[in-house]
């Protein structure tokens, strides 16, 4: 490894990972992830650790770049075709935030099903007697059907947890033969018609962009809820907003959004029965540490010229 290569990080990571990198590299954390800022900083960078969306031309003026590591799993934040064409290895960290995302999904399902926040608020403001009847109209997860779109590492763990909660699990995946035991393969229409809870944890690609459109939402039960921990563009947001406003589904939880950050005044902020979070499903203190240390280890290996185990574009080595 050359003396002190520069590693650029789009957003802060765990301090222990910063210390690990600084034993061998100079480290620069971007003050912001705006395209112009990143483009300027990339001119001297040998490595890039990614936590924010990169501009499509981020590699155009980056003559020294030799390694890119995604601090997480999804690589849609990275212009992969350009990286591959320029033979820049890109690594990710599969499994590093699986537990965090699965626990988020369970929390979101319970939030929407049991509405403890609503009961708590009513108890505090209206009193005991008005608060108790709210529970009469709420449902349970047990005995229902959970439909998972994208049954990879997260979907597989989620299926096991939902089964443990007494739910039947169905799955939609490109490779039905890889579904874990107990998960029945179904098509899109059956999944949306049958599920009491629909959870999206698929990658964003040309097949999944706009996957949940008005027809799919119209097929859902009136009592069903929809969770998105995949990517914002997987859902047609306008179709979901219409369904929520017209009370055609029971609720939704969105951790990812078509536009991030959500702009002030966005209609999402006023939608009923909608839980909104700022892309934090995979972030806990534990997962942040694991992803950061994994990213630092992968970056140092790539800068040493080693081929790591989780290269997303291995064809560059052919």
Longest dimension (CA), the chain: 71
Residue 279: exposed, middle, or buried by beta-carbon count in 10 A (0-12, 13-18, 19+)?
Answer: middle
d(CA 233, CA 177): 27
d(CA 10, CA 47): 11
The topology under which CATH files domain 98-276 is: Rossmann fold (3.40.50)
d(CA 132, CA 119): 7
d(CA 24, CA 132): 60
d(CA 47, CA 69): 8
Pair 21, 7: CB distance under 8 Å:
yes
Task: Look up the pTM and report it.
Answer: 0.91
d(CA 152, CA 161): 14
Instruction: Supply the DSSP symbol for 145.
Output: E
Pair 251, 244: CB distance under 8 Å:
yes
Q: Which residue from 72, 63, 123, 140 is spatially nearest to 298, judged by alpha carbons?
A: 72
User: Which tokens is 38 given?
Assistant: 């990143």
Domain boundaries, the chain: 6-96+285-317, 98-276
Element (H, E) at 301: helix 285-303
Pair 195, 145: CB distance under 8 Å:
yes
Q: Which residue has the tokens 């222990």?
A: 16
What integer pLDDT is reported at residue 3 of this predicted model? 76
Report the chain (318 residues): mean pLDDT per 10 consecutive residues. 85 97 96 87 96 93 96 94 96 95 98 96 97 96 97 95 98 93 96 98 94 98 98 97 98 96 95 97 96 97 92 92
d(CA 25, CA 46): 10
d(CA 253, CA 260): 15
What integer pLDDT is reported at residue 83 of this predicted model? 97
The topology under which CATH files domain 6-96+285-317 is: Rossmann fold (3.40.50)
What integer pLDDT is reported at residue 32 of this predicted model? 86
Q: Which residue has the tokens 């969770």?
A: 227
Pair 236, 210: CB distance under 8 Å:
yes
What integer pLDDT is reported at residue 34 of this predicted model? 86
């Amino acid at each position: 490894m050359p003396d002190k290569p520069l590693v650029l990080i789009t957003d802060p990571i765990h301090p222990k990972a910063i210390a690990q990198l600084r034993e061998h590299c100079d480290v620069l954390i971007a003050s912001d992830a705006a395209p112009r800022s990143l483009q300027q900083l990339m001119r001297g960078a040998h490595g890039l650790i990614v936590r924010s969306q990169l501009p499509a031309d981020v590699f155009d003026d980056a003559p020294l770049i030799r390694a890119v590591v995604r601090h997480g799993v999804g690589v849609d934040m990275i212009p992969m075709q350009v990286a591959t064409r320029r033979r820049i290895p890109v690594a990710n960290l599969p499994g590093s935030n699986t537990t965090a995302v699965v626990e988020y999904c369970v929390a979101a399902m319970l939030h929407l099903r049991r509405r403890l926040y609503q009961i708590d608020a009513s108890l505090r403001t209206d009193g005991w007697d008005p608060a108790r009847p709210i529970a009469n109209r709420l449902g349970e997860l047990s005995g229902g059907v959970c439909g998972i779109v994208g049954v990879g590492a997260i979907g597989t763990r989620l299926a096991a947890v939902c089964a443990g909660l007494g739910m039947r699990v169905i799955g939609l995946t490109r490779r039905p033969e890889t579904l874990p035991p107990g998960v029945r393969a179904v098509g899109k229409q059956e999944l949306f018609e049958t599920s009491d809870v629909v959870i999206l944890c698929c990658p964003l690609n040309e097949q999944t962009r706009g996957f949940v459109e008005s027809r799919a939402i119209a097929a859902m039960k009136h009592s069903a809820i929809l969770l998105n921990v995949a990517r914002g563009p997987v859902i047609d947001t306008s179709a979901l907003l219409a369904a929520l406003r017209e009370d055609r589904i029971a609720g939704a939880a969105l951790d990812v959004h078509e536009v991030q950050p959500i702009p002030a005044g966005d209609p999402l902020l006023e939608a009923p029965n909608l839980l909104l979070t700022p892309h934090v499903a995979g972030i806990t203190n534990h997962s942040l540490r694991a992803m950061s240390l994994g990213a630092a280890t992968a970056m140092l290996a790539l800068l040493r010229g080693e081929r790591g185990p989780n290269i997303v574009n291995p064809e560059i080595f052919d």
